[in-house]
Amino acid sequence: MSHEQWPGVDEAVAALRKAFGTAYVEHTGGGCFSIYVPIEGMGVLSVGDMHGPLGDSNHGWGVELIDPDGDYAGPVCNVPDRSVPKLVEVLRASLRDGTRTGLTHHDLVCMRRDQHHADTGHFVNPAHAGDPECVECQEIHPGFQADEQ
């Protein structure tokens, strides 16, 4: 199956399949698609455009991890120039030693927010500042505001 509407996707699927054994384009809901790369014991790497699903911008590659239970487990890397060899290289590094390459400010804010939520149950997003009595919630929330400027 050809995915010509998304530049570089056929090349990426072939390279990821060669490097990791399996890679395929999957419908993720609502008209969105991603390249899925199952990794035994970790879950699935979900590869899309740097700022969303395939076709959202056709700019760069963005990779997120979905854990074995199907829950979102955070950003893995971003490859701004949409280089397929670089995508394979940074994913190998991530699987080897946990390296996360090219994360944006937004990715880092979300990672901090997700960890805080896991630790406390507090939830912070651009429209909700979390627990008004919690210092960390109040530190995280402005990070989302900075992304919007």
Q: What is the pTM of this model?
A: 0.84
What confidence tens digit (pLDDT) does each residue in 91-126 have?
A: 999 999 999 999 988 889 988 988 998 899 998 888
Q: What is the mean pLDDT of residues 14-20?
A: 97
What confidence tens digit (pLDDT) does each residue in 51-92 have?
A: 888 988 888 999 999 999 998 888 999 999 999 999 999 999
Cα–Cα distance measured from residue 44 to residue 107, given in angstroms and rounded to the nearest whole number: 18
Ordered by start, the domain boundaries in the chain are 1-102, 104-149
Residues 38/27, Cβ–Cβ less than 8 Å:
no
Q: Note the helical H segments in 44-104.
A: 84-97
User: What CA dihedral angle connects 2, 60, 38 and 112, to 10 degrees?
Assistant: -150
Residues 102/82, Cβ–Cβ less than 8 Å:
no
